[in-house]
Structure 1
């Protein structure tokens, strides 16, 4: 995968990867929660997640990131969605036939408060 061309893109990508790596087993968060915490759009998070390298996909718990309604993305390739479902269920979470996580409040991982970051400014400590 080519590296992002901007400083901001590079920093956002690194932070998404870092935060996803911190989601504990048996918990999930949403693209939007990550985005709010990072002070970016959810589309930025989704873009990073959809472009993980094979190595990143192997080591990151990407399956713990769901849509805002605690659902496996209906836009995801079917084989990836099946893998995500299998991994979530393997961690004790129940997913219904439509891909919605059951008892989602009990499994939600709070990423943190919104951070006031200017991603293009290296001094902002993203």
Structure 2
């Protein structure tokens, strides 16, 4: 039997999804920016993003979250990377052959300052 998710994991997942949903069109942010704002590791954010449900994938602008160097993650599944690139380009982003967003500073979405949150279960 699978171990039930902790309350902290559930809260982190919900907050990642909420923050991704707030990224405006024509802007992007990074796994690390979300992580810093939430006071968690970027791996937590990427883990949530890699496990989106089909419904979440259809409704969330997941394609607006990229690696720390403003690049589509080279670790991403190739089909998803192509889809992410296509969606970013449809929003007016210019990417080079390696998947780096050009003129990244003008498109970067600031998630916010680091929050002092304790995610652990009480």
d(CA) in 1 for partners of 2:78, 2:38: 29
Instruction: Kindly state the Cα deviation for residue 64 of structure 1 after the two structures are TM-superposed.
Output: 0.1
Give SS of 1:119's match: coil
Match of 1:69 in 2: 69
The yes-or-no answer on 1:54 pairing with 2:67 is no
Q: Which residue number in structure 2 is paired with residue 94 of structure 1?
A: 94
The verdict on how the C-alpha distance between 1:3 and 1:114 changes in structure 2, with shifts beyond 3 A counting, is farther
Deviation at 1:121, TM superposition (A): 5.0
Moved over 4 A (4+): none
Residues 69 and 4 from structure 1, CA distance in 2 versus in 1: closer, same or farther, beyond 3 angstroms? farther
Structure 1, unaligned runs of 5 or more: none
Q: How many residues align?
A: 121
TM-score by length of 2: 0.95
Q: What's the offset of the Cα at 1:120?
A: 2.3
Q: Tell me, which stretches of 5 or more residues in structure 2 are unaligned?
A: none
Equivalent residues of 1:4, 1:10 under 8 A apart: no
RMSD: 1.5
Tell me the equivalent position of 1:109: 109
Give the SS at the match of 1:88: helix
Q: 1:77 to 1:15 in 2, by over 3 A?
A: same
Q: Give the Cα–Cα distance (whole angstroms) in 1 for the partners of residues 3 and 69 of structure 2.
A: 31
